[in-house]
Amino acid sequence: MKTYQTKELKDLVLLGSSGSGKTTLAEAMAFEGKVIERRGSIEAESTLSDYTDIEHTYKRSIYSTLIYTEFNGQKLNIFDSPGSDDFCGGLFSAFKVADIGLMVIDAQEGFEVGTEIQARYARKHEKPIIFVVNKLDAEKANWESTMESLRANSQVKPVIVQYPVNPGPGFDSFIDVLMMKMYKFKGDTGQREELEIPAEQMDQALELKNILVEAAAENDESLMELYFEKGDLTQDEMRQGLKKGIAGRDLIPVFCVSAKKDIGTKRLMEFVTNVAPSPADAPAMTTVDGAEVKTDPAGPTVLFLFKTSFEPHLGEVSYFRVVSGKVTEGMELVNVKTGNKEKISQLFAPAGKTRTKVTEMVAGDIGCTVKLKGTRAGQTLAQAGTDLQISPIAFPEPRYRAAVKAKSTSDDEKLGELLNRASQEDPTILVQYLKELKQTIIQGQGEHHLNILKTNILNNNKIEMEFFAPRISYRETITKVANASYRHKKQSGGAGQFGEVAMIIEPYYDGMPEPGKYKVDGKELQVNVKNKEEIDLDWGGKLIYYSAIVGGAIDARFMPAILKGIMEKMEEGPLTGSYARDIRVIVYDGKMHPVDSNEISFKLAGRNAFKEAFKNAGPKIMEPIYSVEVLVPSDKMGDVMSDLQNRRAMIEGMSSDKGIEVLTARVPLSEMYRYSTTLSSLTNGRATYSMKLAAFEQVPSDVQDKLLKAYTDEDKDE
């Protein structure tokens, strides 16, 4: 393979709902570029991109797969991304390094919920797109209703470049109003005839051409002047205007294909090579400091690693985009984050599991290498002295969580290694052992997402694991002022232990005044603060710790030990063993012994005094509340809302976003277990959701009673 220069590259990502035909289109594009001699099929398990066993089992894309093809003297790097939102991690990685999206639309379904989800992602990443209406040969293909749905739901104006002459099972022809030609195809060979537009189609073709010319002219003042002057534009002038309009996301051209029959693929690729932005024309990548790194082949060598995979017989494969400069086989680069050196021993242009060896790649190209020592996805490799660290990929928040363990305890260590490896391959899988819950928690984008991981580990490593409902990270706090004193006394021959602590605790809130007068045992007590510590707790909230000891009742050297005892109980709250937060503690009195007092005595006295005071301070349990946004078809809105209300949700808003209903609510995390499965069942897989931690709020009294009853407090006092 020749070395393609930056202007000869196009970096594309295929978007669309599950079943829209992205993988089949990728196969047709590879065939047109002569990367493969015959097209494979999903049914025959022979496509370039869906090549894993799990994808063969499910007959759809699970992973985002990179392939390349060569066409019109250019190299097209193409990401075939999954349509299911459970596997959006690969799509987010592709968005980081691709410059334009081809949104594949099923002509039988039109603009689906899955289309809306991925269109939203494209807007978020500021990626221009092209609509590719596929399956025009299907029995229920409907061009008019598809276009109506695109106009109604797209936030950017769709502009027809092609329209089908005979959609349905006999589909073999379309009119191209940019070329002002009709293209007719023979069978499923991809071979086409270029014909004049029939007289009966001419009026419609001219009308659509005028709309296309106006759309192209709107994006360039000089073209607008030409259009007003001549009343028309040449094909090159139209391409110039469309190129600007697409890059600025001001319009979306619409193309016709049947990927299965290879109808229209070549013409689509011609348009892409002529009009889609090259890496040099696309927005530059930015560093963690916000500086732009130009896609300059003459600049310093900078690689951004966007994906890591582990493959049998090959080991770790690292996928990268050349952000700047060029990379050559044998080059030594530096990991900007760690400072470690890495040698690029081999370079490959990947086409699924097939990899073509190359000697160099220039800015804008995408490839892979093997056997890096310590560089992972999201990190930057650069030539020595180049301190440019590309900003990492911002992945979506997890939506599904479960506790996980190996069925056999002998597999625990190996399972931990495999889960950590899975997290490297797919950063939307998060694995963490939570000391608070005493569980390993795995998080992902949905139940299906984690079940695929479970199946892979079983099939490839013969390790069985099980998922179960995770415990909830509750928080404990108080609602009123309370005081308590505790004497720790222990005598067992020789030196004993003695410490007595008296304290006041109260709820803490930002901006509250400093401690003053309190009633203790029916008497008024004025505290005089000697020292204050403000502790930001790792689990959220604060502990404010005051020393108000007078007359040397407790030596200052024992105050840190009292705080340590309080912190131990804050880490294992008195109600349910959950973390406590937002509490103010004033130690105002106590006693010590000239011989028997020591740090352990005051730690235990402080811990137990705090525990007693806590139980008398109107304790409450707080639960994590998540902001949940659901995208749902209007005909399923009632079912979804009813289900949420049964989950103790507080509905905050409902709106319609271009035909898709958007429901926002605040829902307790304890009610969200397996929600992705329920939502899919309620809507036949047509809805999706996102969730993010919003706050901790007090649980209802009946829920608190259940939690207290379920918790068996183990007295760990010494």
Q: Under a CB-based contact definition with an 8 Å cutoff, are residues 551 and 527 in contact?
A: no
According to the model, what pLDDT value does residue 713 have?
45
List, in sequence order, every residue forming a beta bridge with 253; answer none if it has no partner.
Answer: 159
Residue of 711 and 485 predicted with greater confidence: 485
According to the model, what pLDDT value does residue 493 have?
66
The span from the CA of 541 to the CA of 535, in Å, is: 9
Residue of 484 and 113 predicted with greater confidence: 484
Q: Under a CB-based contact definition with an 8 Å cutoff, are residues 243 and 235 in contact?
A: no
Give the angle 504-479-615 at the CA atoms, nearest 5°.
60
- So what CATH class is 621-705? alpha beta
Residue 442's Cβ-count burial label (10 Å; 0-12, 13-18, 19+) is buried
According to the model, what pLDDT value does residue 522 have?
86
Closest CA to 167 of 196, 146, 193: 146
Residue 322's Cβ-count burial label (10 Å; 0-12, 13-18, 19+) is buried
Tokens coding 189: 């060979």
The span from the CA of 513 to the CA of 529, in Å, is: 12
Q: Under a CB-based contact definition with an 8 Å cutoff, are residues 290 and 17 in contact?
A: no
The span from the CA of 38 to the CA of 48, in Å, is: 11
Contacts of 76 (CB under 8 A, 6+ apart): 9, 10, 12, 29, 33, 68, 69, 70, 269, 272, 273
Contacts of 376 (CB under 8 A, 6+ apart): 305, 308, 424
639-684 tens-digit pLDDT = 999 999 999 999 999 998 666 789 999 999 999 999 999 998 998 8
Residue of 451 and 660 predicted with greater confidence: 451
Contacts of 502 (CB under 8 A, 6+ apart): 483, 484, 485, 587, 588, 589, 590, 609
Contacts of 549 (CB under 8 A, 6+ apart): 530, 556, 559, 587, 588, 589, 590
Tokens coding 346: 């081999």
Closest CA to 255 of 244, 274, 268: 268
712: pLDDT strictly greater than 70: no
List, in sequence order, every residue forming a beta bridge with 163; answer none if it has no partner.
Answer: 175
Closest CA to 306 of 444, 387, 442, 424: 424
Residue 165's Cβ-count burial label (10 Å; 0-12, 13-18, 19+) is buried
According to the model, what pLDDT value does residue 686 have?
79
Return the percentage of the chain with pLDDT > 90, whole number.
85
Residue of 413 and 113 predicted with greater confidence: 413
The span from the CA of 271 to the CA of 663, in Å, is: 39
158 to 219, 556, 693: CA distances (angstroms): 14, 74, 36
According to the model, what pLDDT value does residue 15 have?
97
* DSSP track, 534-581: EEE-TTSSEEEEEE---TTSS-GGGHHHHHHHHHHHHHS-TTTSPEE-
CA atoms within 13 A on the CB side of 447: 15
Buried b (16+ CB within 10 A) or exposed e, 57-88: ebebbbbbbbbbbbbeebbbbbbbbbbbbbbb
- Region 113-138: mean pLDDT is 94
Contacts of 706 (CB under 8 A, 6+ apart): none
528-564 tens-digit pLDDT = 999 999 999 999 999 999 999 988 999 999 999 999 9
577: pLDDT strictly greater than 80: yes
153-196 tens-digit pLDDT = 888 999 999 999 999 999 999 999 999 999 999 988 889 999 99
The span from the CA of 208 to the CA of 351, in Å, is: 37
Give the angle 398-404-409 at the CA atoms, nearest 5°.
155
Residue ranges of the domains in the chain?
Answer: 8-193+252-275, 285-382, 400-471, 476-570+585-609, 621-705
Q: Under a CB-based contact definition with an 8 Å cutoff, are residues 103 and 21 in contact?
A: no
277-324 tens-digit pLDDT = 999 999 999 999 999 999 999 999 999 999 999 887 788 999 999 999
CATH assignment of 476-570+585-609? 3.30.230.10
Q: Is CATH 3.30.70.870 the right assignment for the domain spanning 400-471?
A: yes
Residue bearing tokens 């769709």: 158
718: pLDDT strictly greater than 60: no
Give the angle 452-454-456 at the CA atoms, nearest 5°.
70
372 to 315, 443, 450: CA distances (angstroms): 10, 27, 28
Q: Under a CB-based contact definition with an 8 Å cutoff, are residues 677 and 447 in contact?
A: yes
Query: Could you tell me the pLDDT band of residue 715, with boundaries at 50, 70 and 90?
Result: very low
Tokens coding 492: 């067992």
511 to 280, 365, 528: CA distances (angstroms): 52, 54, 19
358-412 tens-digit pLDDT = 999 999 999 999 999 989 999 999 999 998 999 999 999 999 999 999 999 999 9
List, in sequence order, every residue forming a beta bridge with 71; answer none if it has no partner.
Answer: 74
Instruction: Residues 285-382: name the CATH superfamily.
Output: Translation factors (2.40.30.10)
The span from the CA of 84 to the CA of 552, in Å, is: 67
Equal CATH topology for 400-471 and 621-705: yes
- Region 562-586: mean pLDDT is 94
Tokens coding 244: 């600007």
Tokens coding 582: 């937002």
Instruction: Provide long-range contacts, Cβ within 8 A and 24+ apart, for 288-294.
Output: 288/389, 288/390, 288/391, 288/392, 291/388, 293/323, 293/324, 293/388, 293/390, 294/324
262 to 189, 259, 269, 404: CA distances (angstroms): 7, 5, 12, 45
* DSSP track, 572-618: S-TTTSPEE-SEEEEEEEEE--TTT--HHHHHHHHHHHHHHHHHTS-
Name the strand (E) or helix (H) holding 56: helix 53-58
pTM above 0.75, yes or no: yes
Query: Could you tell me the pLDDT band of residue 717, with boundaries at 50, 70 and 90?
Result: very low
Query: Could you tell me the pLDDT band of residue 568, with boundaries at 50, 70 and 90?
Result: very high
The mean pLDDT of the chain is 93
Q: Which fold has domain 8-193+252-275?
A: Rossmann fold (3.40.50)
According to the model, what pLDDT value does residue 312 have?
79
